[in-house]
Amino acid sequence: MNKKLKVFVGLSGGVDSSVSAALLKESGYEVTGVFIRVWTPDFFICNWKDDRLDAMRVCAKLGIQFHELNLEKEYKKEVVDYMIREYKAGRTPNPDVACNRFIKFGGFYKWAMENGANFVATGHYSRIEKNKLSAGSDTNKDQSYFLWQIKREQLPHILFPVGGMKKPEVRELAKDFGLITADKKDSQGLCFVGKVDMKEFLSHYIKQKNGEVRNQKGDIVGEHDGAAFYTIGERLLGGYVVGKDMKKNEVVISNKNAAGELARATTEVTIKDCNWVSGMPEKGKEYLARTRYRAPLQNCKVTLRHDRILISFEKPQTVAPGQSLVIYGGEILLGGGIIK
């Protein structure tokens, strides 16, 4: 008697995860839909109840089991508290990377495996081929950048059913399956929480304090309401933020030069806390790197040293400490680290 392989699908209430569940059921898996409940701020109107209802409706339409998994404590500690702590220190965190590491492929993955799952699946636009993490086929939706902290040993137990598709195809499939999420808009903003104005969110935890904005020459050109609220590369007073002094509560801005580069751009970047999900970079070999989501891929070389990992770019880059830098070998995402 053949026993079906069990897949627990993380259902967000969106179209991508809904179609993922439908495709897996159609392929013959025993599918269970799981809505992950996370911490939400009480000072914002959140639509998580509507998302949960949509996830339940999808499960009812597909005739699969529905579960709700409460990871509020884990989300508050590993995503929200980390994010606030990084901004206070003057760095730029990436909450979506933390969410994938500690929630989707942390708490959810662990719970699923403990409850008999052979696989977990999500609606990410990424692919896993021959136990290597790769970019999604839809370059406009590719989400592999956010997944570099997945553990290598988890890859054989993770499925990304829509990773090889384009977004319009996914929406058409949702209509074919008769799913309520077919025309639902994509979620934006903080992972799971939705569209949140980051500055407004942080103002509940970080006190606003006026400070000086200076140009590259050191001249005062304006005022800001707190250095912690600004990140490298952000537009401010007609220029771009290129530096911050947290002790003095000062922000430095610069205009782009004739080559379109910012004054403090650099060709060498050091990363820490690395994770090589698909394999270590090779010495002397050229790779592609991304320093923020949707940033163009840049040619680089990787130097592995005992105390640090150095990324050398062909062209100067403006990077934000605290952000993720990921390394690609073609379409394969080798891994990445945190910019120092």
d(CA 151, CA 128): 13
CA distance 104 to 83: 17
Three-class SS state of 240: strand
Catalytic residue among 59, 99, 274, 300, which?
A: 99
Mark whether 300 is an active-site residue.
no
pTM over the 0.85 mark: yes
State yes or no: pLDDT of 258 exceeds 60: no
Residue 3 has pLDDT above 80, yes or no: no
Q: Extract the tokens encoding 11.
A: 């259902």
Distance CA 162, CA 125 (A): 6
Res 189: pLDDT: 55
Q: What is the mean pLDDT of residues 146-172?
A: 97
Q: Which of 6-10, 40-44, 215-219, 232-236 has the largest mean confidence? A: 6-10
The pLDDT assigned to 256 comes to 66
Query: Do 221 and 253 touch, CB atoms closer than 8 A?
Result: yes
- CATH hierarchy code of domain 6-123+161-176: 3.40.50.620
Contact predicate 262/232, CB 8 Å: no
Angle at 276 between CA 70 and CA 148, to 5 degrees: 40
State the Cα–Cα distance between residues 206 and 307, nearest whole angstrom. Answer: 33
Confidence of residue 263 (pLDDT cuts 50, 70, 90): low
- Domain ranges within the chain, ordered by starting residue: 6-123+161-176, 212-254, 266-339
Q: Residue 199 class from Cβ within 10 Å (0-12 exposed, 13-18 middle, 19+ buried)?
A: middle
Contact partners, residue 35, CB within 8 Å, separation at least 6: 11, 12, 13, 51, 52, 55, 56, 66, 67, 68, 69
Higher pLDDT, 316 or 19: 19
Helix axes 15-26, 167-176, angle to 10 degrees: 60
The answer to whether the 6-123+161-176 and 266-339 domains have the same CATH topology is no
Residue 144's H or E segment, with its range, is none
Domain 266-339 has CATH 3.30.70.890: no
Cα–Cα nearest to 117, from 101, 105, 125? 105
Q: What pLDDT sits at residue 193?
A: 54
Among 46, 59, 191, 274, the one annotated catalytic: 191
What's the pLDDT score for residue 257?
A: 53
Confidence at 270, pLDDT banded by 50, 70, 90? very high
Output the six-digit token pair for 295: 């940033």
Q: How confident is the model at residue 153 (pLDDT cuts 50, 70, 90)?
A: very high
46 is catalytic: no
